[in-house]
């Protein structure tokens, strides 16, 4: 059997005994003390009747206490299914039933649902339920045991449950660490949500698997606490999603602060608009390096190694543990700079979705995972992401990639957010529609936006429909849920 996460952590606790492993609001835990603390939580779980193989849906925020629970769960063989604490209660229960989980872990009792619930209190104590639900669907027997189930980001509807094994996660961590300019002497500032695989695996587990010091910050707010933690622990590495970098840039306009001594800032989770990148870099004098990942790959697939060699707008080279192909609709491999679907294989790739044979048959074929993402590889081996296959718009036989149009729209003065979808209208066929969120206090005219697009896009890519909206439906990490955008004609819609 391959190495497990607890086995790696045990090795780090010996190799870096006297070093600070975790810092959280003035509490510092040394590597040598981690095994004993984790063992105490494991004993509490066992006393509550929780056994290896138990599944638990967690809806808890960022804290050392949350991470302690996750590390204990991984040690005992309990499988967490992390969710945002803001997930509606009925959705938490639906996912619990879909995962055949035995109980929930929350920060407050359920109001209207009758399922076993553990409570994580502010002081870090966990009160476990007296009884657990039975599990009706077993996990598959695999060479490496399942470590966790992660919900897909849900931009296309009900999330699927992605099984990630210990080998999946560790191989992705090791391959990222080998590619990126990072070392055990670096110090990670963790603010990404633990319920997201990018945060769970790369922001929180990677530092502990590599002997780094991890500082946990519950949120960007209040900003003073975030900056104080950065200063106190002298963090050097920071992971974010586009929304986080945008928020920091906006805060810099209101309050003077810098991000010293951060030196390596990595963006993932979604495409980073060039306007957001440029505004952040101008404000702070720091470079953001971009990558590409997907939950089913644990999650990192490609990443720019350092600010010195980054290629802005690209996802960087593919990590060594991943094998990647770009294929057309018939499954044939494409050449340099040709756009096609991204297929993945290798140790970081999930063995499949839990209890979902239909989706497994569609997504995992002949040893390859079909991502549904579109990309291309240039002559240097650099990966570029072009969008989602399902979101491609066909206008008069030509492919239109929404991400390209959105990038142009974000360059129009006064546009805060933009989402582009294809809509079908009788007698017109499929058309490009843009949903535009204006910046605060700004009044936008659709005709001027269309005229701007005509200067920067071929005619078939110019939006024919524009609707100004107050906001866009988004996931907890800032991805726009395009399937929720209205496809029917609207009275507020401007048609060219």
Per-residue pLDDT reduced to its tens digit, 356-387: 999 999 999 999 999 999 999 999 999 999 98
Instruction: Answer yes or no: is pLDDT of 155 > 80.
Output: no
Whether residue 383 contacts residue 315, with contact meaning beta carbons closer than 8 Å, is answered with yes
- pLDDT value, residue 152: 86
Q: pLDDT grade, residue 200 (50/70/90)?
A: very high
The enclosing domain of 398 has a CATH number of: 3.30.300.30
Instruction: Answer yes or no: is pLDDT of 154 > 70.
Output: no
pLDDT digits (tens, 9 = 90+) for 412-461: 999 999 999 998 876 667 899 999 999 999 999 999 999 999 999 999 99
Which range among 30-44, 147-161, 392-406 has the greatest average pLDDT?
30-44
User: How far is it, in rounded angstroms, from Cα 300 to Cα 293?
Assistant: 4
Q: Of residues 155 and 11, which shows the higher confidence score?
A: 11
Place of tokens 């060039």: 274
Indicate if 26 and 53 belong to the same structural domain.
yes
- pLDDT value, residue 491: 72
pLDDT digits (tens, 9 = 90+) for 311-348: 999 999 999 999 999 999 999 999 999 999 999 999 99
Measured over the CA atoms of residue 336, residue 337, residue 343 and residue 346, the dihedral's sign is: positive
Residue 387 maps to a domain: no
Residue 321 maps to a domain: yes
Domain boundary among 325, 351, 377: 377
Residue 328 maps to a domain: yes
Of the chain, the percentage scoring pLDDT greater than 70 comes to 97
Domain of 432, in residue numbers: 392-495
CB count, 10 Å around CB of 417? 20
Indicate if 256 and 289 belong to the same structural domain.
yes
Indicate if 138 and 249 belong to the same structural domain.
yes
> Global pTM?
0.90
Residue 151 maps to a domain: yes
Q: Residue length, the chain?
A: 496
- Which neighbouring-strand residues pair with 346? 322
pLDDT digits (tens, 9 = 90+) for 285-308: 999 999 999 999 999 999 999 999
Q: pLDDT grade, residue 396 (50/70/90)?
A: confident
Indicate if 350 and 424 belong to the same structural domain.
no
- pLDDT value, residue 424: 84
Domain boundary among 377, 404, 429: 377
CB count, 10 Å around CB of 52? 11
Q: pLDDT grade, residue 107 (50/70/90)?
A: very high
Is residue 226 exposed (0-12), middle (13-18) or buried (19+ Cβ within 10 Å)?
buried
- pLDDT value, residue 261: 97
Q: Of residues 484 and 379, which shows the higher confidence score?
A: 379
Indicate if 365 and 406 belong to the same structural domain.
no
Averaged over 1-22, what is the pLDDT?
Answer: 96
Residue 405 maps to a domain: yes
Instruction: Answer yes or no: is pLDDT of 238 > 70.
Output: yes
Indicate if 207 and 62 belong to the same structural domain.
yes
Tokens of 385: 């992401």
Domain boundary among 321, 353, 377: 377
Residue 298 maps to a domain: yes
Cite the DSSP H helix spans in 16-152: 34-47, 64-76, 89-98
- pLDDT value, residue 1: 63
Indicate if 373 and 396 belong to the same structural domain.
no
The enclosing domain of 187 has a CATH number of: 3.40.50.12780
Residue 26 maps to a domain: yes
Whether residue 465 contacts residue 433, with contact meaning beta carbons closer than 8 Å, is answered with yes
Averaged over 160-179, what is the pLDDT?
Answer: 98
Return all residues near 236 (Cβ < 8 A) that are at least 6 apart.
Answer: 186, 187, 261, 262, 263, 264
Indicate if 166 and 214 belong to the same structural domain.
yes
- pLDDT value, residue 302: 98
- pLDDT value, residue 158: 66
Indicate if 275 and 334 belong to the same structural domain.
yes
Cα separations in angstroms, 270 against 65, 293, 323, 424, 445:
28, 9, 21, 26, 28
Residue 463 maps to a domain: yes
Indicate if 346 and 401 belong to the same structural domain.
no
Q: How many domains does the chain have?
A: 2
Place of tokens 């239109």: 400
Least confident of 9-23, 266-280, 441-455, 477-491: 477-491
pLDDT digits (tens, 9 = 90+) for 44-97: 999 999 999 999 999 999 999 999 999 999 999 999 999 999 988 998 999 999
- pLDDT value, residue 246: 92
Mean pLDDT of the chain: 94
Of the chain, the percentage scoring pLDDT greater than 90 comes to 85
């Amino acid at each position: 059997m391959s190495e497990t996460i607890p086995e790696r952590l045990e090795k780090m606790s010996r190799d870096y005994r006297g070093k600070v492993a975790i810092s959280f609001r003035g509490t510092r835990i040394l590597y040598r003390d981690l095994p004993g603390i984790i063992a105490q939580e494991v004993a509490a779980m066992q006393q509550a009747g929780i056994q290896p193989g138990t599944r638990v849906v967690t809806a808890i925020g960022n804290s050392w206490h949350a991470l302690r629970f996750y590390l204990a769960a991984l040690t005992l063989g309990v499988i967490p299914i992390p969710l945002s604490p803001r997930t509606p209660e009925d959705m938490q229960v639906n996912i619990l039933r879909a995962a055949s989980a035995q109980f929930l872990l929350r920060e407050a009792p359920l109001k209207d649902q009758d399922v076993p619930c553990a409570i994580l209190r502010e002081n870090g104590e966990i009160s476990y339920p007296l009884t657990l639900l039975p599990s009706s669907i077993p996990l598959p027997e695999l060479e490496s045991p399942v470590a966790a189930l992660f919900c897909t980001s849900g931009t296309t509807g009900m999330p699927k449950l992605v099984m990630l094994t210990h080998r999946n996660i560790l191989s992705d961590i090791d391959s990222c660490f080998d590619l990126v300019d990072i070392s055990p002497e670096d110090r990670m500032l963790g603010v990404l949500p633990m319920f997201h695989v990018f945060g769970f695996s790369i922001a929180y587990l990677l530092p502990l698997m590599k002997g780094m010091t991890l500082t946990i910050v519950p949120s960007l707010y209040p900003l003073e606490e975030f900056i104080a933690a950065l200063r106190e622990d002298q963090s050097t590495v920071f992971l974010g999603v586009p929304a986080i970098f945008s928020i920091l840039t906006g805060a810099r306009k209101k309050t003077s602060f810098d991000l010293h001594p951060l030196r390596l800032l990595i963006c993932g989770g979604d495409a980073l608009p060039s306007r957001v990148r440029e505004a952040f870099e101008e404000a702070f004098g720091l470079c953001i390096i971009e990558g590409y990942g997907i939950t089913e790959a644990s999650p990192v697939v490609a990443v720019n190694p350092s600010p010195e060699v980054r290629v802005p707008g690209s996802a960087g080279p593919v990590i060594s543990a991943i094998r990647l192909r770009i294929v057309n609709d018939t499954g044939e491999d494409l050449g340099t700079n040709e756009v096609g679907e991204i297929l993945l294989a290798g140790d970081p790739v999930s063995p499949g979705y839990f209890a979902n044979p239909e989706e497994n048959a569609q997504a995992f074929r002949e040893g390859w995972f079909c991502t549904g993402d579109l990309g291309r590889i240039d002559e240097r081996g650099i990966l570029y992401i072009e969008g989602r296959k399902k979101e491609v718009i066909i206008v008069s036989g030509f492919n239109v990639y929404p991400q390209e149009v959105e990038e142009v729209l974000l360059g129009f003065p006064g546009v805060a957010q933009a989402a582009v979808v294809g809509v079908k209208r009788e007698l017109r066929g499929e058309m490009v529609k843009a949903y535009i969120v204006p910046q605060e206090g700004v009044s936008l005219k659709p005709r001027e936006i269309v005229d701007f697009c005509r200067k920067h896009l071929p005619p078939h890519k110019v939006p024919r429909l524009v609707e100004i909206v107050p906001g866009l439906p988004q996931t907890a990490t800032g991805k726009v849920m395009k399937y929720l955008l209205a496809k029917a004609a609207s009275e507020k819609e401007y048609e060219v």
